[in-house]
Amino acid sequence: MSSSTVQIQTLILSSASQPVDEVISNILDGHSDDQAFDILKTILTTGVEHDEQVCEIIRAAWAKLLETGCWHGVFPDEHTLRSTFQYSSAIKPAIDRLAKQDRQKMANIRTITTRWKTPLQDLFPLELRPRIWSRNITGALATLATQVPNRLAAVTLIGRANEERVMSVKPGSMQKTCITLPDIVAVSQQLAQATLDFSKSGDRSVTAGSANTQATGDDPHTSERLQEISSDDEPLASASGQQLMRSPPTVVITTRSRQWQTYAPAPATCLNCKPVCSVLVPQIPIKAVDDETAMRIMLQAVKIGIRNFCKPHLRRIAAYCSELYNNKDLHSGILAKRIKLLAQHKDNVLRVQEAHPNWFRRNTAVPVLQPNPLGPFRYAPKPTTLFRFDAQQVFNRFAGDMQA
């Protein structure tokens, strides 16, 4: 039994006799900040997994109870059954929460398969494949898919984190276990820390850190480097010394015994937007586009969920796809409501513009002089000759010849 499971069980059993805050304080007592962070991270990641499993058990048990009808000998009717088990306040919220989690899980799976171009069941080898594709695992994978565009690099990083976790529980054990949520969270945490170090350095390289300088030849794992595969499936150039140079920049992930490098988050990917937005984020324009493209992007953003976008991308959608004012001091919720209103009246946007003229940008373009609306002549006109009045010719034509 893993230490994470023991901690969750300890919390559940101990919370029956004393407050949970005291139980957690007792668990953290005597540990350093890094150790306390690891313990709390484990409690959080395993706790949400247990919550989803409990909701699944509740839904299945309630469905089986109604299916078998075994309650008829105990309760006179279903209303009494629901009242006794507090269905409205206890069971139904868990079932509704699970249904919402199912929808989120499907959105996460779409993000994963779109970013990595691989079916979910083919992401990991059979021996490492998660036992349950829960919402939390798929959500963590969707977030990682936006950070690491290359699937092979991400899978290798997760495999290394899994190996580190197994070795920390059973030192010297090389037994492979299924991928868990803490493995994926550990990779995202390392990437976030490496990206932070990279942004602080102001250079296109990140040093390997003190773990490499303190390494000795006694540990066979210390000198081993894993060169990740780039987006075009070409191996990275081998690093020399402590400093790794690459354009676009790479980051170095360091654990207790291993060290490898991978890409920093792609510039087209926004880590502040929800993972479900990753498909549309690269398409959001940075300048004015044609009306058809603008309408398509706006409608797709509303369909995904306009509040899932970060404020910078929301302002770009408002400005270049909706022609709305997008001042920085304008609240994101107001922008989102205005964009949704435009999407609802997509067939008559002019009506919204006339009703709320202060929402929209004024047209500052210089008007272009239009030609004659009738258009040019199809053929060039022939020059007209000057008119001369000839009395004799007119008389001869209409009165006849005087000598006739």
28: containing domain: 1-85
Query: What's the half-sphere exposure (Cβ side, CA atoms, 13 Å) at 78?
Result: 6
**Which pairs from 235-239 meet CB under 8 Å and 24+ separation?**
236/261
Burial class (CB in 10 A: 0-12, 13-18, 19+), 183: buried
Q: How confident is the model at residue 378 (pLDDT cuts 50, 70, 90)?
A: low
CA distance 202 to 213: 22
Highest mean pLDDT among 158-167, 213-222, 393-402: 158-167
**Residue 151: both structure tokens together:** 């699937």
Determine whether 320 is exposed, middle or buried from the number of CB atoms within 10 Å of its CB (0-12, 13-18, 19+). Answer: buried
Sign of the dihedral through C-alpha 307, 311, 316, 322: positive
Write out pLDDT tens, residues 149-200. 788 878 888 888 888 877 776 665 555 678 887 888 888 777 776 655 544 5
Rounded Cα–Cα distance for residues 312 and 40 (Å): 32
Q: Does residue 327 sit within a domain?
A: yes
Residue spans of beta strands (DSSP E) within 72-143: none
Of the given ranges (105-109, 228-232, 300-304), which has the lowest mean pLDDT? 228-232
Q: How many structural domains is the chain composed of?
A: 2
Residue 376 clears pLDDT 50, i.e. is over it: yes
Q: Is the pLDDT of residue 264 over 70?
A: no
Indicate the residue among 60, 85, 110 that finishes a domain. 85
- Cβ(265)–Cβ(146) below 8 Å: yes
Does residue 145 sit within a domain? no
- Asked if pLDDT for residue 311 goes beyond 80, the answer is yes
What angle (nearest 5°) sits at the alpha carbon of residue 177, between those of residues 173 and 181?
120
191 located within any domain: no
d(CA 265, CA 280): 16
Instruction: Tell me whether residue 131 is in a domain.
Output: no
**Domain endpoint, select from 85, 118, 143:** 85
Position 398 in a domain: no
> Residue 261 domain-assigned?
no
Burial class (CB in 10 A: 0-12, 13-18, 19+), 367: exposed
Interior angle at CA 378, CA 376 and CA 382, nearest 5: 95
**Residue count (the chain):** 404
Query: Please, what is the Cα angle at 89 between 86 and 95, to 5 degrees?
Result: 100
Residue 211 domain-assigned?
no
What tokens appear for 177 in the block? 């276990």
**Least confident range of 55-69, 94-108, 267-281:** 267-281
Rounded to whole angstroms, how far apart are CA atoms 51 and 7? 15
Q: Is residue 70 part of a domain?
A: yes
Q: How far apart are CA 226 and CA 261, in angstroms?
A: 7
Q: What is the CA radius of gyration of the chain?
A: 34
The model's pLDDT over 96-145, given as tens digits with 9 standing for 90+, comes to: 877 777 788 888 888 888 888 888 888 888 878 887 788 888 888 888 88
Residue pointed to by tokens 């005291």: 22
Q: Could you tell me which residue, 158 or 22, shows the higher pLDDT?
A: 158
The structure tokens listed for 6 are 């023991």
Helix axes 33-68, 181-201, angle to 10 degrees: 140
- The sign of the torsion formed by the CA atoms of 84, 89, 92, 98 equals negative
- Where is the domain boundary, 59, 85, 111? 85
Tokens 């949520």 label which residue? Answer: 181
Burial call 103-130: b when 16+ CB within 10 Å, e when fewer: ebbebbbbbbbebbeeebeebbeeebeb
- Taking only the tens place, the pLDDT of each residue in 274-301 is 767 777 888 888 888 888 888 888 888 8
What percentage of the chain reaches a pLDDT higher than 90?
Answer: 0
